[in-house]
């Protein structure tokens, strides 16, 4: 059907339909939909990550983060890691650390010069994915990922194990806050081709409603939260 005829039909129907608009309650506002978060954002974020089946650990420094990451590597013994390039990962010292772990780092720097078939082969073969995030969300235990060159989608999607390294200041309180921040990027015309919110390891309940993890995406999701203010405060009970 041609565009003009299609839109004319919609326009006409929408106008006739005005008679059937529903009653609206003018007292409700968007602000009423904010979640109330009383505890510390790190505590709430990690609690939510655990609730959806992730494994969160809070560490007080990048050095402690490397020790934790080494523990995680002892479990899975990965040979190659599909990684983001990100300031938080630079602070972690990812490249050097992977070298000492003798794990091949696959990232945009390695992939960019390759032909597509090669890129795909390397991405699909990775044993673990390592990313930071654009923001993290305390309300839901989510990672908000603005995907672009250097911050590839496949890292959090294709390998069976996925490790995210999050720094305290990346954590926002509410889903609305995340969309406000994304809106700022949109206003600056810095809008990525793909944004994904991740809230758990890949799951399905399609076989007799029984929960199985890792059906298409990673079945294991580890989250290291680096809270460099943590040393200054008493540990949460």
Partner 1 sequence: MSTTDFTRQTHHEFLTASSQALVDANLQLSLANVGDTLAKRNREAWETFPQSAPLRELARQIKDATLADLAGHLETLEASVRERGGEVHYAGDGDDACRIVTDILRSRGAKRVVKSKSMTTEEIHLNDALEAAGIEPIETDLGEYIVQLSKQRPSHLVAPALHLRMPEIHQLLSTDAGETLPNTPEDLCAYARTRLRDAFATADAGITGANFAVAETGTIVLISNEGNARLTVTMPKLHIAILGIEKVIPKLADLPIFLKVLARAATGQKLSIYTTLANGPRKPDELEGPDEFHVVLLDNGRTRILEGPLRESLFCIRCGACLNVCPIYRNIGGHAYGGTYSGPIGAVLTPLYDGLTNNRHLPHASSLCGACQAACPVKIAIPEMLIQLRDQLHKEPGEMHWAEAQAYGLWARSMRSPRLYRFLTWLATRTVGRVLPSGWLKKLPGPLHGWTKNRDFPAPARERFRDWWSREGME
Least distance CB 148 / partner 1 (angstroms): 7
Is residue 82 part of the contact set for partner 1 (CB under 8 A)? no
Helix axis angle, 62-76 to 94-101, nearest 10°: 40
Contacts of 215 (CB under 8 A, 6+ apart): 202, 203, 204
Q: Which two tokens stand for residue 2?
A: 């041609």
Which region, judged by CB under 8 A, interacts with partner 1, from 77-85, 87-95, 126-134, 148-156? 148-156
Cα–Cα distance, 87 to 73 (Å, whole number): 22
Binding residue (CB under 8 A) for partner 1 from 14, 115, 235, 237: 14
Cα–Cα distance, 97 to 229 (Å, whole number): 23
Is residue 74 part of the contact set for partner 1 (CB under 8 A)? no
- Residue numbers 156-175 binding partner 1 by CB under 8 A: 157, 175
**Cβ distance to partner 1 smaller for residue 78 or 217:** 217
Least distance CB 26 / partner 1 (angstroms): 9
Q: Count Cβ atoms below 10 Å from residue 228 Cβ, excluding itself.
A: 15
Cα–Cα distance, 165 to 109 (Å, whole number): 20
Site pattern 208..237 for partner 1 (x: CB under 8 A): xxx-x-xxxx--------------------
């Amino acid at each position: 059907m041609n565009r003009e005829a299609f839109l004319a039909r919609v326009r006409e129907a929408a106008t006739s339909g005005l008679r059937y608009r529903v009653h609206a309650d003018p007292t409700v506002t968007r602000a009423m939909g904010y979640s109330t978060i009383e505890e510390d954002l790190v505590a709430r974020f990690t609690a939510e990550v655990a609730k959806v089946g992730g494994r969160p650990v809070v560490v007080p420094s990048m050095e402690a983060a490397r020790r934790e990451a080494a523990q995680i590597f002892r479990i899975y013994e990965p040979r190659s890691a599909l990684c983001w390039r990100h300031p938080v990962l630079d602070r972690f010292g990812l490249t050097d650390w992977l070298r000492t772990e003798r794990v091949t780092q696959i990232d945009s720097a390695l992939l960019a010069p390759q032909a597509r078939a090669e890129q795909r082969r390397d991405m699909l073969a990775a044993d673990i994915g390592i990313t930071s995030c654009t923001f993290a969300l305390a309300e839901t235990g989510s990672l908000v990922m603005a995907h672009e060159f250097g911050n590839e989608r496949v890292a959090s999607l294709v390998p069976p194990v996925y490790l995210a390294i999050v720094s305290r200041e990346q954590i926002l309180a509410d889903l609305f806050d995340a969309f406000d921040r994304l809106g700022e990027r949109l206003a600056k015309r810095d809008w990525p081709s793909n944004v994904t919110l991740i809230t758990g390891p890949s799951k399905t309940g399609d076989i007799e409603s029984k929960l199985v993890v890792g059906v298409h995406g990673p079945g294991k999701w580890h989250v290291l939260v680096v809270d460099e203010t943590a040393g200054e405060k008493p540990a949460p009970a």
